[in-house]
Amino acid sequence: MKRVPGRWSAPVLLAVLALAAGACSTQVERIEVGEVRDLSGRWNDTDSRLVSEEMVADLLSRPWVEDFRRREGRPPAVIVGEVLNLGHEHINVRTFVLDIERALINSGKVVFVASKTEREELREERRDQELHAREDTRKPMGRELGADFMLKGTINTIFDTEGRRQVRYYQVDLTLIDLADNRKVWLGQKKIKKFVTKPGLRP
Amino acid sequence: MSWSSGTVRRARLFCAAGVLVLSCSGCAGYRDWAGLLEQRLAAGDYDGALAVLERHGRRERDRLLYQLNRALLLRMKGEYRASNAAFEEAKRLMERLEAVSVREQAGALTVNELQRSYVPEDYERTLIHVFSALNYLALDQPLEARVEVLQLDQHLRQVKSEAEAGGAFGRYFSGLLFEALGERDQALVAYRQARLAYADYPDPDALAMPRQLQRDLLRLTRALGLIEEARRLQQDFGLESDDAPSGSQVDSEKEHASSSAEVALILFSGLVPPKREVWIDAVTEDGTLVTVALPELAARPIHVQGLSLEAAGRQARGEVVEDLAVLAAEALARRRPLMLARALARAALKHEAVARARQEHAGAGLLMNVVTAATERADTRSWSLLPGQIHLVRLSLPAGWQRLRVVLLDGAGRRVQQRSWRVHLAAGELRLLAWHWIDDEDLVWPQERDAAQPVIQPAAQRRTTH
């Protein structure tokens, strides 16, 4: 049996090393924010965006907006209250709430007021201005715009698993409540159902 | 230069032996260093324990075990956020490891069980959710804790036996959490499930349904107006009228709830029994040494075996709500037949390899035999930082600031340690608290091949031998 000529050894070794290195390194690819890529079947950015957009579109197409405008002669002021995650997954509810806020503000049909924590920070800033800001630039206390409606909601899930297959059902319920008399003026619901099959083999 | 075919075959055999040795370069067993980890933990040196874990526990196939041990150490250290990040990583790995690796299976069949990635037992998975939920409660994120309890429910729906999967305590804990969240209907469902799991407990001699759970079930059924069910429960449990308020007392209970609160303290005591390696050696007719290595559980004493909670002139004694020695023994017994089958298949393959090597060259045969015997290792990996026992004590107190005094007791009722907590309890609140206790007396080093050391057997085997 003949030995492999020495001049082949180095290139072959290098090629193998290069292949091995390629297989081990992390690959990064930039994708469009709107592109849908489901990796695990869990609630993801696409779900958050789609649900918020669809629910806000439904919310703004209902008669309560025009009824309020006719009655008060101005667009309604809305605040987003708590959206509770009552499901099986740790969901970043804050991202979802921000998606709703963005869709509502960008619609131009409603006025949006700052949340409870944001208001605290703003009041602190006004208190600071009273001491330190020039008089003609000070923003006085007591001139905040009060919200007319509060949007609240829950995220619920039902998961059904059998072996490697799983059905993941998400239900988002949002309610718009009139802060003047606690009337519920709009109820919105969006459901997402996913069928996930986990791989049977791994490396 | 040309090589004879005999030389090539011998070279191949030496290479095969080399590959076996190389593949087993990471064959240092978990127990070879886990003792150090437990020693640092018993001394309360969490940073030292984490350093030991970083040094020894980061093998690719032990990634999941590394995350579990890390998460628990971080929890005990009070770094709840980091602990939960580690638990989440562990869950992600668990999902990935549900798929079968042909390479690992082949390794387990030809080299040893350590070629497989560590996958936690069902009862270990249950406790991931319990600890994670407790972390979220400590971070004042009760709804995230609720998510963990729902995930725990998902997990327990998948297992064959809830009781063997730690479901008795898991369900009881879920009920407590739902009650703390004010969801009494959900709490009642969980308490009922816990009752079923305790009734199905693998070793009824080791653990009966806690008296506190009986009282909780009775109280909730009454509170929810299920008078008939409450009457049946009272009969089943043989509770006195003090434990079981009559229908007319329900209203006064509601009034009482508006000015009182409750504390439920969970004590995680000691360490779960470790696995140790036992070998079965035999010499075949052709003079080949055949070795089979299997894991078994070594008994480990638990120093703290009771607790009492005192506050505002009231006192309550805790009781054991989970015995992890029982769960670990059942889990190992369930896996044993498959492990034994793989070990025998492996022994046959290794014997064949030695015989072939011997045909080529006596020296090669001897070398191959040494290598095949040396590479035989049992899988002694387990989440060994888990507690040995879980205790629970629940006490009703007036709302407001309270100083809680917790006394830990040994098996003879002697005081081991005491601790005070100052807590503010809102009216109607149920506050869940947890304490981990491990000390030097919980550590017994597993002596390999020490026949004198007691071995834990599953309940079924114990019952038949007695």
Q: Find all residues with CB under 8 Å of B89, minimum gap 6, and list them.
A: B67
* Mean pLDDT, rounded, for B249-278: 81
> Is residue B46, in this structure, part of any structural domain at all?
yes
Q: Which helix H or strand E contains B262, and what residues bound it?
A: strand B260-269
* Mean pLDDT, rounded, for B198-202: 96
Query: Residue B123: what pLDDT?
Result: 98
Task: Spell out which residues of chain A touch residue B143, defining contact as CB-CB under 8 Å.
Answer: 84-86
pLDDT at B268 over 60: yes
Among B150-164, B200-214, B240-254, which stretch is predicted with the lowest mean pLDDT?
B240-254
Percent of chain B with pLDDT over 70: 85
For residue B99, the distance in angstroms to the closest alpha carbon of chain A comes to 5
pLDDT digits (tens, 9 = 90+) for B123-145: 999 999 999 999 999 999 999 99
CB B156 within 8 A of CB B171: yes
Whether residues B101 and A203 touch (CB distance < 8 A) is answered with yes
pLDDT at B362 over 90: no
The tokens of A197 are what? 């099959």
How many inter-chain contacts (A to B, CB under 8 Å) are there?
Answer: 46
Average pLDDT, chain B: 88
Query: Residue A5: what pLDDT?
Result: 43
The tokens of A5 are what? 């000529």
> How many structural domains compose chain A?
1
Query: Residue B11: what pLDDT?
Result: 56
- Strand A184-197, strand A165-178: pairing: antiparallel
Task: Say how far apart CA B118 and CA B115 lie, in whole Å.
Answer: 9
Whether residues A200 and B2 touch (CB distance < 8 A) is answered with no
Count of positions (residues) in chain B: 466
For residue B146, the distance in angstroms to the closest alpha carbon of chain A comes to 7
DSSP state letter for B309 = E
Reported as a pLDDT band with limits 50, 70 and 90, residue B247 is: very low
Give A55's Cβ-side CA count (13 Å radius): 29
Looking at the DSSP bridge assignments, the partners of residue A176 are A151, A186
> Is residue B245, in this structure, part of any structural domain at all?
no
* Mean pLDDT, rounded, for B366-375: 91
ipTM of the complex model: 0.80
> Is residue A192, in this structure, part of any structural domain at all?
yes
Check the CA dihedral B453-B459-B462-B466 and report its sign.
positive
Whether residues A1 and B158 touch (CB distance < 8 A) is answered with no
Among B224-228, B274-278, B362-366, B405-409, which stretch is predicted with the lowest mean pLDDT?
B362-366
Chain B interface mutation, best of A90, A92, A168, highest count of B Cβ atoms under 10 Å: A90
Residue of B nearest to A89 (CA): B147
| pLDDT, mean of each 10-residue run, chain A (203 residues) | 43 46 60 70 90 94 95 95 94 91 90 89 94 94 94 95 92 97 96 92 87
Strands (E), chain A: 77-85, 111-112, 149-162, 165-178, 184-197, 201-202
> Is residue A149, in this structure, part of any structural domain at all?
yes
> Is residue A5, in this structure, part of any structural domain at all?
no
Q: Find all residues with CB under 8 Å of A55, minimum gap 6, and list them.
A: A100, A172, A174, A188, A190
Reported as a pLDDT band with limits 50, 70 and 90, residue B6 is: low
> Is residue B230, in this structure, part of any structural domain at all?
no
* Mean pLDDT, rounded, for B447-457: 51
Structural domain that includes position B414: 28-209+258-465
Query: Residue B457: what pLDDT?
Result: 63
* Mean pLDDT, rounded, for B38-54: 96
Reported as a pLDDT band with limits 50, 70 and 90, residue B29 is: confident
For residue A115, the distance in angstroms to the closest alpha carbon of chain B comes to 19
pLDDT at B331 over 70: yes
The domain that holds A163 is classified in CATH as: 3.40.50
Task: Spell out which residues of chain B touch residue A161, defining contact as CB-CB under 8 Å.
Answer: 154, 157-158
CB nearest A1 (choices: B2, B150, B154): B2
For residue A169, the distance in angstroms to the closest alpha carbon of chain B comes to 14
pLDDT at B451 over 80: no
> How many structural domains compose chain B?
1
Q: How many Cβ atoms from other residues are within 10 Å of residue B13's Cβ?
A: 23
CA distance readout (Å), B438 to B43, B387, B420: 8, 8, 18
pLDDT at B465 over 60: no
Query: Residue B192: what pLDDT?
Result: 97
CB B138 within 8 A of CB B84: no
> Is residue B243, in this structure, part of any structural domain at all?
no
The domain that holds B449 is classified in CATH as: 1.25.40.10
Structural domain that includes position A144: 41-197
Highest mean pLDDT among A115-129, B27-41, B243-257: A115-129
Chain B interface mutation, best of A39, A83, A88, A159, highest count of B Cβ atoms under 10 Å: A88
Query: Residue B361: what pLDDT?
Result: 86
Among B238-247, B272-281, B366-375, B416-425, which stretch is predicted with the lowest mean pLDDT?
B238-247
Q: Find all residues with CB under 8 Å of B352, minimum gap 6, and list them.
A: none
Task: Spell out which residues of chain B touch residue A202, defining contact as CB-CB under 8 Å.
Answer: 96-97, 99-101
Whether residues B98 and A198 touch (CB distance < 8 A) is answered with yes
Task: Spell out which residues of chain A touch residue B158, defining contact as CB-CB under 8 Å.
Answer: 161
Whether residues A88 and B101 touch (CB distance < 8 A) is answered with no
> Is residue B278, in this structure, part of any structural domain at all?
yes
Query: Residue B162: what pLDDT?
Result: 97
Task: Say how far apart CA B333 and CA B327 lie, in whole Å.
Answer: 10
* Mean pLDDT, rounded, for B293-312: 94
